[in-house]
Amino acid sequence: MKAVVYHGPKNISVKDIPDAVIEHPSDVLVQITTTNICGSDLHMYEGRTSFEKGKVFGHENLGKVIEVGAAVQTVKVGDYVCMPFNVACGHCENCERGQTAFCLNANPGAAGAAYGFAEMGPWQGGQAEVLRVPWADFNCLVLPKDAAEREDDYVMLSDIFPTGWHATELAGMKPGDSVAIYGAGPVGLMAAHSAAIKGASQIFVVDTHPDRLALAEKFGATAINAVGQQAVDKILELTDGRGTDCGCECVGYQCCDKHGHEDNSVTLNSLVGSTKATGGIGVVGVFVPQDPGAKDRLQQQGKMAFDYGNFWFKGQFMRTGQANVKAYNRNLARLIQHGRANPAAIVSHRLSLAEAPKAYEQFDKRAEGWTKVLLKP
């Protein structure tokens, strides 16, 4: 089968690899019909992680079941399914509590696993013609009857829509709250969409890419084309000096200062500044324990110069981590099914699997108009 394979920094190809097969009775095989390129993939594409050469990308996956293992009970051949990016066993202590992003069995020696992701277990990604899905009864969300018709919406249930929703949950957002979202990439846009659905009174989205900010405005947000203190000052001005009730970090460790230089502390320190006293901050942008490719010594160690004094003095709280997709995906699917959510509004490109190298190159450049890329094997 054909798949998108990593060979080294900014070096990928679409090549033939051994076919995916059933390895355990609880597995299914899914013929992938849509698989997305995620902003998190770019960290690996750029060589800023320990992603192994020869591994297949792709953790945002949807497709049609073509084979089931002997122990599979609820998923059937022919079902359209969307898989959370989290690979989870469904029966460990964390999975039982709904914390499927921190499964204790899917990645031995660590908490949490994912398809096609650095240090997240042995699982191959779904930017391929076929994907093996383990613990399939637990990991497959069987989609409604309009799955083929609204495939580009439903595929967002694999990661970015639940992750955007999770950002607002981590921040403690309630109906009527104001929220500042740093980052207008796909996850930030989904956080804005989620905040609107949940009844936020004011939504601010901070970024410097006009095309992405224009999409944020379509979701009802106020665009803030600035970074750092300039962004903080603008938000304070628009909230009568009070700051927002809560804020979301949707950029991660490769965020940049006003000069375009990487500084992993920029967004978090800005959130401390633009969030009110006692407000909450939810962090879903990826931060890593080590970043050897960074120029800054602290950042190389996964650390930063965080404005802890103001954070403490303002009595704020912060919650972090990957989304437990299964905690949200079924209900979010209902929002899509009944027309309350349209996450596919951010899609800019629908390309073949063969076009993946070009797509990675353009998305990595943040080229104008490249907001969300879907691959159709």
pLDDT at 260 over 90: no
pLDDT of residue 258: 84
> What's the pLDDT tens digit per position in 158-213?
999 999 999 999 999 999 999 999 999 999 999 999 999 999 999 999 999 999 99
Give the neighbor-by-neighbor strand order of the sheet with 202-207.
222-225, 202-207, 178-182, 244-249, 275-283, 317-320
Predicted confidence band of residue 295 (pLDDT cuts 50, 70, 90)? confident
Is 229 in a helix, a strand, or coil?
helix
Q: Which two tokens stand for residue 367?
A: 């080229």
What is the identity of the amino acid at 316? Q
Contact 142, 135 (CB under 8 A): no
> What's the pLDDT tens digit per position in 317-342?
999 999 999 999 999 999 999 999 99
Kindly report the pTM of this predicted structure.
0.96
For 72-86, 204-218, 282-296, 304-318, which range has the lowest pLDDT when averaged over its residues?
A: 282-296
Contact 285, 252 (CB under 8 A): yes
pLDDT at 291 over 90: no
DSSP-H helix ranges across the chain: 39-45, 93-96, 136-139, 151-154, 160-170, 186-197, 210-218, 228-238, 266-274, 297-300, 308-313, 329-337, 356-364
